[in-house]
Chains A and B, each alone.
Chain A
Amino acid sequence: MIEDQLYRQAILEVAKNPKNRGEIERPDLEARLVNPLCGDEIKLQLKIQHPTSKIEEAMFSGNGCAISQASASLLAEYVVGKSIDEVEKVNSSDILELIGINPTPARLKCAFLSLDTLREALKDDAEGQG
C-alpha cells in the first residue's frame, strides 16, 4: 500500500518528536527556504567548528508536512560531526535512505526541501570564502 510506504511509523515518530529542532543563537551558516507549492518552510542553522570545519551543531525550525519535517530532523542529525566537504556531497538518494520511504513524485519536493536548504546554507559559506 502506498500510504504504508509514505508513512512508515518511524517517520511519523520523527515528525512528531523531531530532534535538532530549535534555533542556534549565533550560527555560522543559515538558510531558510519555502516550498511555494504548499508553503512548507524550513530554516536550517549550522555551527562550524574551527579549524576542523566540522559541523558542531545543526538545528532546524519551520513548519510543514510530516515528510518535510521528518526529513529536516534526520538531515540535521546526520550532518552533525561531519566536515563541510562531506556534507557538500549529501545528495537526494542519501535523503531517501535517511527517511527510509519512497515518496510519490509530488511529495519528493517535501522530502528534499531540507536538502535544498542545506545547499543554500553551504552556498553562503562558499560565498563567504570567495
Chain B
Amino acid sequence: MKEMLTKQKTALDVEKIRKDFPILKREVYGKPLVYFDNAATSQKPHQVIDVISDYYQNYNANVHRGVHKLSEEATEAYESARKKVANFVNAGDSRQIVFVRNATEAINLVAYSWGRKNIKKGDEILLTEMEHHSNLVPWQILAKEIGAKLEFIPVDELGQLQITNFKSQISKRTKLVAVTHVSNVLGTVNPVKEIIRQIHELSTRNSSPAPKVLIDGAQSVPHMPVSIQNINPDFYVFTGHKMLGPTGIGVLYAKKELLEEMEPFLSGGEMIMEVTLEKSSWNYVPWKFEAGTPDIAGAVGLGAAVDYLSSLGMKNVRYHEKELTAYALETLEKVKNLVVYGPTDTEKRAGVISFNIVDDKGEVAIHPHDLASILDSVGIAVRSGHHCAQPLMKVLGIPAAARVSFYIYNTKEEIDKLSPAIEKAKKIFKV
C-alpha cells in the first residue's frame, strides 16, 4: 500500500527508468554515480544506444543516393526520425526540421543564411542578458560584420527577464529578437509565447513588418512539453544530446517560407538540385541545408530518444523535475551560507539550480570549481564555472557558480546526498 502511494506521488516510474540507463550502474571513486549535470548533457538509455548500434550493424548505407536496399532502409530511418522530431515538438510539416550538429550550429546557420541577407547596416538585434554564448557570439560577429547594433532585454534580481518594457526596445530597425526558452544557469522559464504575441501585436499596431524571432530551446525541449506551432516562433533550435540522444545531432526548426528564401549554409553534395561547371541550383528544403553525408546514426538515435520521452509523456517529465527542484530548493535552503540564484517559484523554473557558498559578507567563499571537486569526490557530478554565460555572471555579480540540473532518472534520495557533501566542502574550506 505504501509503495503504491509513493508511486502515485511521482509521475514517473524512476526505478524502472534507471534500469534503462547502463551508465547509472557505474561507480565514481567507489561511490554510486549521482549525475546532476544534465543541463550539460543527458545520459542515454539502452534504447538509444541499441538503435545506433543496430543501424551500423544491419543497414548502414548513405541516404538519398543509393537505389539499393540498405540505402533505402537508411533513408527511411533518417527521414522517419525527422517526422518523429517534428511530431515531438508539434512543428507541423516535418520539412521545417533541418538536422544540424547541435543548437549552436543551428543558430550559426540562421545568422549566416538568414541574417546576412536580411540584417542591414544600422539594423538592430534584440537579445537578452541571460543568453548562452551560443545565442550571443554569432550575433556579435554578424553585427560587427554588417554594422548592426545589439540590444539586450535586462534580467532582474530574481533572474527573470524584465519584459514589462521590452516593447520599447523594439524599433523599426529591429530585425531579429533572439531569446532563450529556459536559462541554462538560472532555470528561468521565459514566457516566449507571450513575448512573440506582443511582438506581433506591436507590428500590427505600427503596420510595420514584425522582427523575426528565434527561440533557443536547448534547455526546454528535453524537459517540458513544447509546441512550436503554439509558441509560433520563426526559428526554434535545440540539440539531441541533452534529451537522451547522441552527440552530433541537433535541430533547426524554421518556417518553411523562410527556409525557402534562405541561401544554403554549407554547400556540396546532397544539397543540390542540378550542378553544371558554372552554377548550381538548390535542393528542396530541408535538404538544401544538409550538405554532405549527414549524421544518420545520430538522427536515428535522436528518433529513439524522442520515442522514449514520448512514452514517458513530457507532462510527466516536467512534473517529476518540478518535484525534484522544489525538494532540492528546500534542501539547499537549509544549508547555511548557501545562496541560490534564479526564481524561487518552480512554475517559472526548470530543473536547474545554480548556487554558491558565501561568507558572512556575501562574498563567494568556496570557488565553485573547488566545490565541484569535493562533490565529485563523493560521486556527485555537478557543473561549475560561468556556464557559457559570462555576461549573466556579471549581472549576478559573481565570477562563477556551481550548478545542479536534474532529469528523469534523478531521485530525492540523490538530492539528500547534496547537503552532507556541501557541508564537507565547508569544513575543508573552514566556512
Interface, chain A (partner B; CB < 8 A): 1-3, 6-7, 12, 37-40, 63-67, 104, 107, 110
Contacts and interface: CB of A to CB of B under 8 A. Distances in A.
14 contacts: A2-B29, A2-B377, A3-B374, A7-B374, A7-B429, A12-B428, A37-B385, A38-B400, A39-B390, A64-B369, A65-B368, A66-B370, A104-B373, A107-B369
A64 B384 CA distance: 12
Contacts of B314: none
A39 B29 contact: no
Given A39-B393, A39-B399, A39-B400, A65 B370 contact: yes
A15 B51 CA distance: 49
B386 interface: yes
B367 interface: yes
Interface residues of B, number: 20
A63 B368 CA distance: 12
Contact of B384 (A38, A66, A67, A104): A38
A61 to B, nearest CB: 14
A1 B369 contact: no
Given A3-B377, A6-B377, A63-B399, A38 B369 contact: yes
B374 A64 contact: no
A67 B386 contact: no
Given A3-B377, A38-B385, 12 more contacts: A2-B376, A3-B373, A3-B428, A12-B428, A38-B368, A38-B384, A38-B400, A39-B386, A64-B369, A65-B369, A67-B369, A104-B376
A64 B373 contact: no
A12 B429 contact: yes
Interface in B385-401: 385-386, 390, 393, 399-400
Contacts of B368: 38, 65
B377 A65 contact: no
B32 to A, nearest CB: 16
A110 B368 CA distance: 13
Contacts of A67: 369-370
B384 A6 contact: no
Contacts of B374: 3, 6-7
7 shortest interchain CB distances as A-B pairs: A65-B367, A65-B369, A38-B385, A3-B377, A2-B377, A39-B386, A65-B370
Contact of B367 (A2, A3, A64): A64
A1 B377 contact: yes
B296 to A, nearest CB: 32
A2 B370 CA distance: 12
Contacts of B400: 38-39
Contacts of A3: 373-374, 377, 424, 428
A65 B366 CA distance: 8
B282 to A, nearest CB: 37
Nearest to B400: A39
A56 to B, nearest CB: 31
B372 to A, nearest CB: 9
Contacts of B370: 7, 65-67
Given A2-B29, A64-B367, A39 B385 contact: yes
A66 B29 CA distance: 22
A76 to B, nearest CB: 19
Contacts of B29: 2
Contacts of A12: 428-430
A24 to B, nearest CB: 23
B373 A38 contact: no
Contacts of A37: 385
Contacts of A1: 377
A38 B377 contact: no
A6 B367 contact: no
A40 B369 CA distance: 10
A111 to B, nearest CB: 11
Contacts of B386: 38-39
